[in-house]
């Protein structure tokens, strides 16, 4: 009988393969732990307050270099500032990044991939202050520009400009309601760039005040209180982490492509058509190949602001393929009276998975899709948008947890059913009994590896969702991430998929037939017939089919 490689591979060769795969997994963890830096870094910059009574939207204001703004103030609340006739309409908060370090001019690298900005306001508490609303609507005039090496200091090119609204979220404890104390204000999202193609960036922000002269006019920034300073936290992916990440993709991409070609060639040489599980292995391999494709190399030569969106789509397709594969892989060995080897048998399971992934895709497009045309857009800026975003993230985490519980239940049910049918093994001849015991043992180990992979994937998915939204939480959630976890889980996906495709490929070997035909029972002959039917892929599926027909 010819089955899958997992059944016919000798114990020695199987042990060597497992040790090699485990070694690859350990290497992925060690690469992230010992070589890669932290995935991202944060640079907090205090805005320089430039003053221009003849403010123009066409003019750039920057704190360093030739032509920099010379008229600056340190405290807008200083009485001397008011005596000079300077108001909020004349103040431009400027942020020139990256900031110099140790008297050395730094620049951004294209390996750093993306840039996220979060704004924080320092608002002074004043007892006599009447015009402050802790939940005031803030109107921001923001302008983002860039400059490259070799360009003059004053040659800034506009990247994006927008007038946005953000809602303050400030509070102060009763014991701190004293002069010189600051309100505790939450950070608000400012912009997000999908690529860092240029060397230097400049951000100009103005908070203009408009006092309504008529009741129907809308006041602008009149309830912001005693604003003294503005901070912006710039978060970017570390270039060293990107290099390690792309290097792993460069290694895994041809590896998975090669094993898929080898697998399909073996399938095409069979006399029967491919089975559903074999099709799903190809779908999983194709999704992983798309995820492995190192498109990040394009960002080194071209400005690719859409790279973040493409990365989200690729990861979403892989998640959908992996979750669907686990359901079908477990269901094909479930031993029930449902007709298997047909995708229609799993339409409920697959509909739930694909529906959830589609909702996450729509949610992602509502923010990052719009940011392709307006980097200052954010779904977190309104109360409805914030609640919707939090609801999507929480719902995604709950659904991921429920999926893992359901998958664990299915795997447990497979184990229980197989254990019950193992009672028939003693009636078989020694050769056939040892063969099936070996197959069942290997299958259980593979199912446990599937459960472990599912657990790590679900944990990685939940942490990834929290990681993307942690800067927008109302609560101060502190999470520590290590590069070892990210590279380890990514390596686990590739090792797991490689192992499945390799072990479930058709084997050219045949295990010897039992010579003791006198001791063969009718049930054993039935096992042999089911295991050699051309519609089956392996001995374990033949064993399962026999169990389902009892």
Written in H, E and C, the secondary structure of 143-181 is: EEEEECCCCCCCCCEEEEEEEEEEECCEECCHHHCCCCC
CB neighbours (10 Å) of residue 312?
Answer: 17
User: What tokens were used for 171?
Assistant: 């509070």
Residue 172 has pLDDT above 80, yes or no: yes
CB neighbours (10 Å) of residue 550?
Answer: 9
pLDDT tens-digit series, residues 234-278: 999 999 999 999 999 999 999 999 999 999 998 888 888 888 888
Query: What span, in angstroms and rounded, lies between the C-alpha atoms of 407 and 462?
Result: 17
- Tell me the CB-side half-sphere exposure of residue 316, using CA atoms within 13 A: 20
pLDDT at 1: 36
**Percentage, residues of the chain above pLDDT 90:** 25
Q: Which of 90-94, 312-316, 342-346 has the lowest mean pLDDT?
A: 342-346
Instruction: Pick the more confident residue, 293 or 359.
Output: 293
Task: List CB contacts of 449: < 8 A, sequence separation 6 or more.
Answer: 496, 499
Instruction: Pick the more confident residue, 444 or 300.
Output: 300
Alpha helices, DSSP H only, in 269-346?
A: 276-292, 307-331
Residue tagged 């309100």 (tokens): 183
Instruction: Pick the more confident residue, 347 or 114.
Output: 114
**Phi, psi torsion values for 94, nearest 5 degrees:** -115, 140
Mean of pLDDT over the chain: 80
Query: Which domains are present in the chain?
Result: 5-39+240-549 (1.20.1070), 41-237 (2.60.120)
pLDDT at 297: 93
Instruction: Pick the more confident residue, 183 or 387.
Output: 183
Q: Are 125 and 172 in contact (CB under 8 A)?
A: yes
pLDDT at 439: 64
CB neighbours (10 Å) of residue 152?
Answer: 10
Residue 50 has pLDDT above 90, yes or no: yes
pLDDT at 45: 92
Q: Which of 72-86, 155-169, 323-337, 484-498 has the lowest mean pLDDT?
A: 323-337
With a threshold of 0.85, does the pTM exceed it? no
């Amino acid at each position: 009988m010819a089955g899958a490689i997992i059944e016919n591979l000798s114990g020695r060769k199987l042990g060597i393969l497992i040790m090699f795969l485990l070694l690859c997994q350990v290497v992925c963890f060690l690469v992230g732990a010992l070589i890669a830096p932290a995935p991202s870094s944060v640079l907090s910059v205090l805005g320089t307050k430039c003053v221009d009574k003849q403010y123009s939207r066409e003019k750039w204001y920057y704190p360093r270099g030739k032509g920099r703004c010379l008229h600056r103030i340190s405290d807008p609340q200083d009485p001397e500032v008011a005596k000079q006739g300077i108001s909020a309409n004349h103040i431009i908060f400027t942020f020139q990044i990256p900031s110099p370090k140790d008297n050395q001019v730094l620049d951004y690298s294209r390996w750093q991939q993306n840039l996220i900005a979060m704004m924080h306001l320092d608002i002074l508490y004043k007892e006599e202050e009447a015009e402050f609303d802790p939940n005031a609507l803030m109107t921001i005039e923001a302008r983002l520009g860039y400059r490259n090496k070799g360009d003059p200091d004053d040659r800034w090119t506009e990247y994006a400009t927008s007038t946005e609204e953000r809602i303050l979220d400030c509070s102060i404890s009763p014991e701190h309601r004293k002069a010189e104390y600051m309100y505790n204000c939450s950070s608000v999202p400012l912009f997000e760039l999908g690529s860092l193609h240029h060397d230097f960036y400049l951000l100009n922000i103005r908070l203009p005040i408009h006092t309504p002269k008529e009741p129907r006019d809308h006041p602008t920034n009149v309830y912001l209180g005693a604003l003294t300073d503005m901070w912006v936290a710039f978060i970017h992916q570390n270039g060293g982490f990107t290099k390690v990440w792309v290097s792993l993709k460069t290694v895994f991409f041809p590896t998975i492509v090669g094993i898929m070609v080898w697998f399909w060639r073996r399938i095409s040489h069979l006399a029967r058509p491919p089975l559903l599980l074999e099709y799903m292995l190809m779908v999983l391999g194709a999704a992983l190949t798309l995820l492995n494709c190192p498109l990040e190399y394009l960002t080194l030569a071209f400005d690719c602001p859409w790279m973040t969106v493409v990365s989200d789509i690729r990861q979403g397709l892989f998640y959908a393929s992996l979750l669907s594969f686990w359901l079908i892989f477990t269901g094909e060995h479930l031993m029930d009276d449902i007709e298997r080897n047909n995708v229609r048998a799993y339409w409920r399971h697959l509909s739930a998975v694909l529906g959830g992934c589609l909702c996450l895709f729509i949610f992602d497009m509502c923010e990052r899709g719009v940011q392709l045309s307006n980097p200052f857009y954010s779904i977190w800026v309104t109360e409805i948008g914030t609640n919707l975003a939090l609801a999507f993230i929480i719902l995604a985490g709950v659904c991921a947890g429920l999926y893992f519980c359901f998958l664990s239940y299915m795997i447990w049910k497979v184990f229980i059913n197989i254990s019950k049918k193992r009672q028939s093994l003693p009636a078989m001849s020694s050769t056939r009994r040892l063969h099936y015991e070996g197959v069942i043992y290997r299958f259980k180990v593979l199912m446990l590896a599937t459960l472990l992979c599912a657990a790590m994937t679900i944990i990685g998915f939940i942490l990834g969702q929290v990681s993307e939204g942690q800067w927008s939480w109302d609560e101060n959630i502190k999470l520590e991430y290590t590069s070892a976890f990210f590279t380890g889980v990514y390596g686990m996906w590739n090792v797991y998929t490689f192992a499945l495709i390799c072990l479930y490929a058709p084997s050219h070997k045949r295990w010897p037939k039992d010579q003791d035909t006198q001791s063969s029972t009718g049930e054993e002959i039935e096992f042999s017939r089911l295991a050699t039917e051309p519609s089956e892929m392996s001995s374990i599926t033949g064993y399962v089919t026999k169990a389902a027909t009892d």
